[in-house]
Amino acid sequence: MSTSREKKQQAFSRGIRAERLAAFALMLKGFRIVERRYKTRFGEIDLIARRGSLVLIVEVKARASVEAAMEAVGAMNLYRIESAADHWLARQPDHDRLSLRFDLIAVLPRRWPVHIPAAVSFRN
């Protein structure tokens, strides 16, 4: 029987593996991973990827289905991601030329990750 601590450790390990696989999938698409697990006091971003002036703010969810992954991203989660993205963007010397996009990557059992571009629109 698994303890609560063991379950948390397993979930953490599963999340790290999912992020690695998602990063690999993005690199195959020509993106450069500029940050992994970017943390601020405002929130956390799983992956930040860049290709030219396009910057992807990527939330990675390891779930049984794409629908479950999309449902796992709540309003408070989006607010924290957006706040962390604003923080990261403000620190970039070329921030005025960058275009941000929020993507979701669903890592499903025994399947290649499903990349959902522009999963959510941020405020303008």
Is residue 123's pLDDT more than 90? no
Task: Please report the pLDDT score of residue 1 as a whole number.
Answer: 55
**How far is Cα 33 from Cα 48, in angstroms, rounded to an integer?**
6
Q: Given 3.40.1350.10, 3.40.718.10, 3.40.50.800, 3.40.50.12280, which CATH number is that of 4-120?
A: 3.40.1350.10
pLDDT in tens, 47-59: 999 999 999 999 9
Mean pLDDT in the chain? 92
Half-sphere exposure in the Cβ direction for 109 (13 Å, CA): 4
Domain boundaries, the chain: 4-120
User: Do the Cβ atoms of 118 and 102 come closer than 8 Å?
Assistant: yes
pLDDT in tens, 76-87: 999 999 999 999
Report the pLDDT value the prediction gives residue 121, as an integer from 0 to 100: 62
